[in-house]
Amino acid sequence: MRQAHPVEDAVGMDYYVSDSDGVGGHLRREPAAFGVREIEAFDVESIDAEPGAYPHVVFRATLAGWDTNDFASVLSDSLGISRERVSWAGTKDKHARTTQLFSVTKIDPGDLDAIDLSNVEIEVLGRSGRPILFGDLAGNAFEIEISEPDRPENIDAVLDELAAFAGSDRDRDEGSATTVGVPNFFGQQRFGSERPVTHEVGLAIARSDWKDAVLAYVGNPHDREREDTREARAYVAETRDWQGALDRLPNRLGYERSMCHRLAENGASNPEDFRDALEAVPTNLQQLFVNAAQSYAFNRILSARLERGLPFDEPVPGDAVCFADNDGPDGLELPDTGRTQRVTEDNVGTVRRHCERGRAFVTAPLLGTESELAEGEPGEIERAVFEELGIGPADFDLPGEFRSEGTRRAILLRTDLSVERDPLTLSFALPKGSYATVVLREITKADPADL
C-alpha cells in the first residue's frame, strides 16, 4: 500500500492499493476528453401516451461543460417552470461530455425541441408515469483520455497490481481488457472537488447541530478557492453577520446566499432557524449533505480494512455480503444491496466461491436508521469508525429530506479496463454510484486537483 494525497486523506481515502508510480498527467483538459454515457435502466412509454397517466416527459441530454444541477436550473428557467419539476438519474461533473437521462413534469414535449442552449443536445424519448429518480440507471460507461502523461510506461505495472487486488490474472495480450479492482471509495467530487466540506455539513446534521452545519457550508474557507470567496467565508465564520455575508458572498455562491438570506430574514435565534436555512437549498442538496457524511464514514471503514490487511475480493467471518443483480446488463457487475447474507465460519467457503465468480460482494454500511453492522473483525472496524465520528443509526432519524434508513455498499470496485496507448485512453464501465476517479487515481497517482 501507498499513502494517499493529503486532500484524499481529508475525505477518508488514506491509501493507494498499488505501490507502483503512476503515469501522471491530467484529466478533463477539455470536456470531450472525459466521456460519460449512462447505461440506462428506465422504461419509457411512447411520446403519444396519455399525458394524464404519463405526465413525465423523458429525454436524453448530451452536455459538454455543464454541471447537472446548473443544467437543471437553466432548463427550468428556459421552460418557465420550477426546478423541482426536473429530475435525473445521476449527477455528472461539468468538466466532461456526458449523456444522461432527465424527466420533466407536465410540459409540452415540443417545448424541449425549442430549447437552444450552448453545448446541449436533447433527444425526447417518451413519457413515464413517474419521474426519473436518483439511481434510475444501471451504471456509466467511460472513455477517458489522460493528457500529457509523464510516465505512460508505468501503466502496465499499475494494472498488474490492480488485477491482483481484484483477485484476477492480467491478460497481457495487447488491446485486450484487464480485469482490475480498487477499493470502492466515494470519489473526491462526492465531498466537493475544490472544497471538500459536504461531509462536515452532514456530520453536523446527524448530530442535530444545525448551526454548525450552516457554518461548515457557508463559512469554512478553503485555500483552493478564489480570494473573494475565502474572505467572505472568513467574515461569516468570525461575525455570524448574515446580512453582511450577503453583501460579501459572490453571486456565484447561490446556495450559500440562500441560507444567509433565510437567516437574515427570519433571524438566527434558535436551532430551528438554522435548520430552516439548510432547507432553503434544493432537496437533492439536502440529501447530499447526509449522503456525504455516510460516504465519509464508509471511506474510513475501507481505509481501516486496508490497514488491517483484510481482503476486499473475498469475505472473512463476520462480513455481510450482497448478491449480484440478476437483471443487470451483461458485462457489468451490479450488486443488489437488498439481498444480503451474513458470513460465518460454516458458510465462508461457499460465499468465497460466489465472490470469485462475481455472484456476491463483500459490503460495508452506509449508516442509517435501519443499519445492521457486521460481526467479527469487520464489525470491530465499523463500530470503531462510527464511535470516533460520534454517530450511530438513531442519529439518522432526522426530519424531512435529511432522514436516511441507510444501506450497504460493495467494498470492491471491479471492472474490465481497455487501454489505447496513443493518446493514452482508458475505456471501462462501472455500476451506478461508483466513481471513475477512484480507478484513475490509482493509475495516475496525480494531485486530485488534476482529476
Nearest CA to 22 out of 154, 117, 171, 220 is that of: 154
Question: Mean pLDDT throughout 235-263?
Answer: 96
Domains of the chain: 2-27+146-184+413-450 (no CATH), 33-138 (3.30.70.3160), 190-281 (1.10.1510.30), 285-410 (3.30.2350.20)
Local confidence band at 174 (pLDDT 50, 70, 90 cut-offs): low
- When pLDDT is averaged across residues 59-63 and rounded to a whole number, the result is 96
Q: Which amino acid is at 250?
A: P
- pLDDT computed for residue 384 by the predictor: 98
Pairing of strands 34-40, 137-145: antiparallel
Judged against a pLDDT cut of 80, whether residue 417 lies above it is answered with yes
Mean pLDDT of the chain: 94
With cut-offs at 50, 70 and 90, classify the pLDDT of residue 134.
confident
| pLDDT confidence of residue 171 | 65
For residue 41, name the pLDDT band (cuts at 50, 70, 90).
Answer: confident
Q: What is the mean pLDDT of residues 342-346?
A: 97
How far is it, in rounded angstroms, from Cα 30 to Cα 197?
26
pLDDT of 431 higher than 90: yes
- The answer to whether residue 440 scores a pLDDT higher than 70 is yes
pTM, full prediction: 0.90
Residue 135: is its pLDDT beyond 90?
no
Compute the distance between CA of residue 358 and CA of residue 27 in angstroms, rounded to an integer: 30
3-state helix, strand, coil in the chain (%, to 5): 40, 20, 40
Mean pLDDT of 71-85: 95
Is the pLDDT at 176 greater than 70? The verdict is yes
Instruction: Provide the annotated active-site residues.
Output: 93
Q: For the residues 198-204, what does the mean pLDDT come to? A: 97
